[in-house]
């Protein structure tokens, strides 16, 4: 198609997309082109602004490494990750599903029920978690693999912090006949997301802070069920309503109970401790693990050898 006016550009691109053999690819790309072209028209995008935007996209790629995924961080900071999650789970609001985040690793160590995921000296008040996984009718989901992970009280995941042991504050559990797991950790703390890359530039331009409220990550999978990715938030965190990644829903605010004078489940626990009990609902569907957004040293070495 020979272009005669600016409207013809959109028509020409959409016509060429009709050649695509994959129907879903054609649907997504056609919608993207329409919205992208309409966006450029609405804001009267200049040539200089387009070059700046292209440089920004390039910078996102350059800022991503085996231990840091800037693109996922950007998607969260724009609310896209939260929106896609709610579009694909539950009824748009009442769901246990949440963001995967940029720090999940696939090879966390198997840990027995009641075990600890604190694998190196880590300051923080003890947290004892009991969780149940049930289907939509309330029946226990036995034999589900449940991956949990969190940051330290310094606001760092172990892959970001050389002082932590490999896989510190990470563990993989198996639900029992009651769909139950339990483990010991430390009470999560809120933390800042990295702002030394393009995401930081975006937040500064918007006048926003870069804090995530304290949370515990969970990923549960079993054949016959859609893989459940979740986060359980601490209710008294000051950034609960202004999460930089827009991940907090009412359903995911957990009841972290402080105990000052009661004996802890582990008799070696000193001082105040916390307990968390949470019931997760797993939806029917395909059991499929996501692609890990980062690699630790072991995963990076395995990938290099492959």
Range of the domain at 120: 62-295
Same domain, 278 and 181: yes
Is 305 part of a structural domain of the chain? Answer: no
- Using one digit for the tens of pLDDT, what is the confidence trace for 120-138? 999 999 999 999 999 999 9
Same domain, 113 and 27: no
Rounded to whole angstroms, how far apart are CA atoms 174 and 110? 8
Question: pTM above the 0.95 mark?
Answer: no
Is 268 part of a structural domain of the chain? Answer: yes
Rounded to whole angstroms, how far apart are CA atoms 11 and 223? 44
Is 302 part of a structural domain of the chain? Answer: no
Q: Please give the full DSSP string across 133-197, using - where no structure is assigned.
A: EE-TTS-B-TT-EEEEE---TTS--GGG-TTSPTTTTEEEEE--TTSEEEEEEE----EEPP-SS
Count up the domains in the chain and report the number: 2
Cβ distance 130 to 276 under 8 Å?
Answer: yes
Same domain, 36 and 159: no
Three-state DSSP state, 102: coil
CATH number at residue 248: 2.60.130.10
In the structure encoding, which two tokens stand for residue 142, read together? 């036995």
- Using one digit for the tens of pLDDT, what is the confidence trace for 24-76? 999 999 999 999 999 999 999 999 999 999 999 999 999 988 878 899 999 99
């Amino acid at each position: 198609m020979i272009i005669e006016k600016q409207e013809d550009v959109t028509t020409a691109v959409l016509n060429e997309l009709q050649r695509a053999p994959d129907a879903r690819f054609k649907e997504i790309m056609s919608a993207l082109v329409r919205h992208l072209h309409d966006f450029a028209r609405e804001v009267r995008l200049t040539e200089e602004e387009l070059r700046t935007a292209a440089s920004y996209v390039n910078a996102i790629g350059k800022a991503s490494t085996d231990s840091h995924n800037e693109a996922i961080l950007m998607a969260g900071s724009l609310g896209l990750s939260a929106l896609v999650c709610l579009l694909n789970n539950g009824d748009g609001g009442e769901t246990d599903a949440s963001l995967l985040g940029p720090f999940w690793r696939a090879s966390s160590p198997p840990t027995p029920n009641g075990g600890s995921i604190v694998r190196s000296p880590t300051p923080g008040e003890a947290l004892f978690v009991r969780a149940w996984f049930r289907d939509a009718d309330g029946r226990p989901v036995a034999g589900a693999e449940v991956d949990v992970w969190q940051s330290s009280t310094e606001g760092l995941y172990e892959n970001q912090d050389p002082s932590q042991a490999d896989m510190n504050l990470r563990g993989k559990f198996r639900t029992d006949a009651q769909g139950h797991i339990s483990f010991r950790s430390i009470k999560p703390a809120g933390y800042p997301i990295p702002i030394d890359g393009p995401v930081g530039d975006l937040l500064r331009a918007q006048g926003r802070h870069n804090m995530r409220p304290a949370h515990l990550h969970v990923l549960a999978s079993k054949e016959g069920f859609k893989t459940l990715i979740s986060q359980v938030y601490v209710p008294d965190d000051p950034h609960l309503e202004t999460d930089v990644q827009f991940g907090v829903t009412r359903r995911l605010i957990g009841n972290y109970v402080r105990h000052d004078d009661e004996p802890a489940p582990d008799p070696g626990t000193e001082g105040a401790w916390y307990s968390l009990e949470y019931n997760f609902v797993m939806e029917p569907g395909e059991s499929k693990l996501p692609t890990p957004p980062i690699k630790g040293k072991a995963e990076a070495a395995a990938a290099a050898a492959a």
